[in-house]
């Protein structure tokens, strides 16, 4: 009984060390600063999020990306999220069927 508990504690400790190591190493990662004159902002993100399905299909056959880089950061991400939510039905899509 004690040996089985010891093995489980050792596994949890090893897993915890790996999670902490991954968090520490990923904290060092940075993105390059955008080198654009006017990077895409909120409205571009909204449009790109709304056209996500068509962009995904286009990206299969061309060099088109579904997410603009460099973009203006948080506002672009927020617009992208809103656009994708509107196109994909949002959080209330399943609520209407009940």
Shared domain check, 48 and 20: no
Shared domain check, 46 and 19: no
**Alpha-carbon 75 to chain mean position:** 14
- Note the pLDDT of residue 15: 94
String of b and e for 62-95 (b: at least 16 CB within 10 Å)? eeeebebeebbeebbeebbebbbeeeeeeeeeee
Shared domain check, 48 and 21: no
- Note the pLDDT of residue 18: 95
pLDDT tops 80 at residue 51: yes
Q: What is the pTM of this model?
A: 0.52
Asked if the structure places residue 25 within a domain, the reply is yes
- Span 56-83, average pLDDT: 81
The structural domain count of the chain equals 2
Shared domain check, 46 and 86: yes
Shared domain check, 20 and 49: no
- Note the pLDDT of residue 92: 63
Question: Range of 66's domain?
Answer: 42-90
Shared domain check, 83 and 46: yes
Asked if the structure places residue 78 within a domain, the reply is yes
């Amino acid at each position: 009984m004690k040996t089985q508990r010891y093995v489980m504690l050792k596994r949890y400790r090893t897993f915890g060390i790996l999670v902490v190591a991954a968090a520490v190493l990923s904290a060092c990662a940075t993105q390059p600063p955008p080198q654009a004159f006017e990077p895409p902002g909120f409205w571009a993100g909204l449009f790109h999020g709304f056209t996500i399905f068509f962009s995904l299909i286009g990206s299969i056959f061309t060099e088109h990306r579904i997410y603009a880089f460099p973009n203006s950061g948080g506002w672009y991400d927020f617009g992208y999220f809103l656009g994708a939510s509107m196109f994909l039905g949002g959080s209330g899509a399943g609520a209407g069927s009940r």
